Amino acid sequence: MWTLNTNTPTKQPLFRQIISLIEQAIENGQLQAGDRLPSERELSQLLKVNRSTVVHALNNLTDRGVLIRKIGSGSFINHQKWGLQSQPLINWQSPPSVLSQKNDSYALKANQLRKEAQITHKPLLDLSNGDLPADLLPALSLHKLSWQELLHHEQGEEASHLGLHSLRKAVKDYLAKSLKLSVDDDQILITSGTQQAIFLITQGLLKPGDAIGIESPSYFYSLPLFQATGLRIYAIPTDAEGITLEGLEKLINQKNIKMIFLNPVFQNPTGRVMSQTRKQELLTYCYHKQIPIIEDDAYSALPFQKNIDTSPIKKLDKQQQVIYLGSLSKYLGKNIRAGWMIAPKPIINKLAEIRQQLDAGLSVLPQLLAEHYLINHATTHQQYLQHTLYERARQLTTWLTEHYSDQLYFSPPPGGYHLYAKCLQQKPADLNNLLESFLQQGLIVMRGSEFGDSPYCLRLSYGHFNVASNLKR
């Protein structure tokens, strides 16, 4: 982590590069609220710069409130960091998301490659894209529906604040059939997707300053809404079976964790599946500690083998301590936002009321499309996705093995969308050369730093992989 990229030309002075390094580590979860930085002497040795340069950078961050410096103890990430912006001045021409990319040469090159592909129509394999590609979308068609009928649905009683009753029934039947998960109608809240569900949870069940635990790595770290709503994020270590109980216990003993967020089946980005034993152990432990679990289940319908246990933690939940989030965006595409939340009735009603107060209601059309999909297409389409994604994952692993086995370590994904690889040579120059090799072939990946992990890890979303494009043979 403590490495300046000296291989890429930059006009930034060294102290500014150190500031950017620390800010980016905070943004992607590598540095947490309350973490202690190495000493000034240690940082100067790690970064290979003068100590005065380190002091200049730390003074800047301290003046802006990003760091707290304690005499005799060192420099710490401010516990109030959720109220801070990494950029101290408003710049309408360059919002924070743009400013954070200014010194990221790979992100700039990837964006340029996307623009060129749009203009020249050259083949582009954007494996950083976690959405379903257009050629895998289902062919949905509703019976002829007039504008007046849509308005009737919007204004009618069935357009409940919980979502269309017919869609809630379709979700109930779908969960019972596919996951053997039994729920009541009044435990289902229709959402516009997982991000709306998480937003409602942060607004209704948490408050600014609350500490939450998130498995590491996780796509949750790429969502800005946690810090935007004033929450403190703490990483929970994982192994091949998911969250480790030892890591969770250590964190809970140190911090007052209010809630944990996880994605146990075909986890994003690692593709791991939490074992049944670990699910039960986690559920039991969190029950004794009275810590709710938010379970995001976006990929469980996409196993590549029948013997993989894709059952959710919610299925084991006897004490109503798990809030279960489902979504169809990974099956219907990013433009049809439809999902659901399963929780105890009082929570469902509370969050539905908050949504009404925020005037963040639901459009009827996506709900009707989601209902049509669940009733008429889900089974056959998901079987098609399982087969096609498996084949594309196989092609990707074969290609990587043939051409990059001396640079990357990975395991064949068991299902879902993503392959997670680790660089064997963990030096900036080696990583830059690997990424440059990908870009020259029109291939873009996501780095682990986007998920609170090492930049020497890479996520490749194989749904967009096509071995027939201009790749190494």
For residues 273 and 311, what is the distance between their CA atoms, to the nearest angstrom? 10
Look-up of token digits 């080696």:
430
Residue 286 to residues 94, 95, 262, 404: CA-CA distances in angstroms?
43, 39, 13, 41
For residues 325 and 313, what is the distance between their CA atoms, to the nearest angstrom? 11
| 462: its two tokens | 């194989």
In this prediction, residue 420 carries a pLDDT of 98
Neighbours of 285 (CB within 10 A): 15
Dihedrals phi, psi of 303, to nearest 5 degrees: -75, 150
Dihedrals phi, psi of 106, to nearest 5 degrees: -65, -45
**How many Cα atoms occupy the beta-carbon half-sphere of 193 within 13 Å?**
12
| 305: its two tokens | 């083998």
CB 210 within 8 A of CB 186: no
Encode 386-406: b = buried (16+ Cβ within 10 Å), e = exposed.
Answer: beebbebbbebbebbeeebee
In this prediction, residue 103 carries a pLDDT of 62
Cβ neighbours for 416, distance < 8 A, ≥ 6 positions apart: 265, 266, 267, 268, 271, 299, 302, 389
In this prediction, residue 382 carries a pLDDT of 97
Handedness of CA 60, 65, 70, 74 (dihedral sign): negative
Dihedrals phi, psi of 427, to nearest 5 degrees: -130, 145
Encode 94-119: b = buried (16+ Cβ within 10 Å), e = exposed.
Answer: eeeeeebeebbbbbeebeebeeebee
Q: In residues, how long is the chain?
A: 473
Amino acid (1-letter code) at residue 320: Q
| 51: its two tokens | 């100590």
SS3 annotation, 252-280: HHHCCEEEEEECCECCCCCCCECCHHHHH
Q: Going from the N-terminus, what domains does the chain have, and what CATH number goes with each?
A: 14-99 (1.10.10.10), 105-136+380-464 (3.90.1150.10), 159-376 (3.40.640.10)
CB 213 within 8 A of CB 236: yes
- Partners of 325 in the β-ladder: 296, 341
DSSP 292: -
Residue 189 to residues 321, 323, 344, 374: CA-CA distances in angstroms?
16, 11, 10, 16
Residue 277 to residues 319, 342, 421: CA-CA distances in angstroms?
18, 23, 26
Print pLDDT tens along the chain (473 aa): 677 765 555 667 888 889 988 988 877 667 877 888 999 999 999 998 999 999 999 988 887 778 888 877 889 888 654 444 444 444 444 444 444 555 688 999 999 999 999 998 888 999 999 999 999 999 887 666 665 666 666 665 445 789 999 999 999 999 999 999 999 999 999 999 999 999 999 999 999 889 999 999 999 988 888 878 888 889 999 999 999 999 999 999 989 999 999 999 999 999 999 999 999 999 999 999 999 999 999 999 999 999 999 999 999 999 999 999 999 999 999 888 899 999 999 999 999 999 988 866 688 889 999 999 999 999 999 999 999 999 999 999 999 999 999 999 999 999 999 999 999 998 999 999 999 999 999 999 999 999 989 999 999 999 999 876 657 64
